[in-house]
Amino acid sequence: HHSSLMHLSFKNQNISSLQLSSNPSLKQIQSLDLSDNHISILSASPQHGIIALSALTHLDLSRNHLEELCHEWPSTLQYLDVSFNKLKSLSGLESCGRLDTLIVAHNRISSVKALGGIMAKRLRLLDASHNIISQVDFNPAYVTALQSLNL
C-alpha cells in the first residue's frame, strides 16, 4: 500500500533554484508552496521544470525573485500566486487554459495585454494590484468568467 503525496510545502527554506527529479511520486503533487524563497528562474525543462508536475492545480511562488515566467506549465494548473516578485509581464501564461485564479500583485508589470486567448477563458480572479500598469488591453469576450479584477 503506497500513499500518494498531494501537498508539498517548502515555504521559507532559502531555496534559490528548482530542479525537480524524475521521481514518479512527484507526478501526484496537486499543491506546491514555494513561497518566501530566493527563486529567480524556473526551469523550462520538461523533465525538471514545473511542467513535470502533471497533476499540479495550486502553485504558490509568491515572495521570490522571479523576473520572468516560464512558458511551460502543467495543463492542470488552476491557481497561481506569483505576487511579490520582480515580474515585468504576464508573458508565459498563454498555455494555462484552466487557470481560474491569478495573483500577480506587487510586481513590475506595466501592461495586462497578455491576458488574451486561451488563458483567460476560465479566469475568475485577477489581482494585479501594486504594479505599474499603464495599459489594460484585453477583449471582454475573452474574460467571460471574470468575477474579481484588482488593478
pTM of the model: 0.90
What pLDDT does residue 19 have? 80
148-150 vs 125-127, strand pairing mode? parallel
17-46 pLDDT per residue, tens: 888 777 777 888 999 999 999 999 988 787
Q: Which long-range contacts (CB under 8 A, 24 or more apart) does 89-98 make?
A: 89/114, 90/114, 90/115, 92/68, 93/69, 93/119, 94/118, 94/119, 95/71, 95/119, 97/121, 97/122, 98/122
pLDDT band at 148 (very low <50, low <70, confident <90, very high): confident
Domain ranges of the chain: 1-151
- What are the cell numbers at 61? 511562488
Q: What is the CATH number of domain 1-151?
A: 3.80.10.10
Mean pLDDT of 104-114: 86
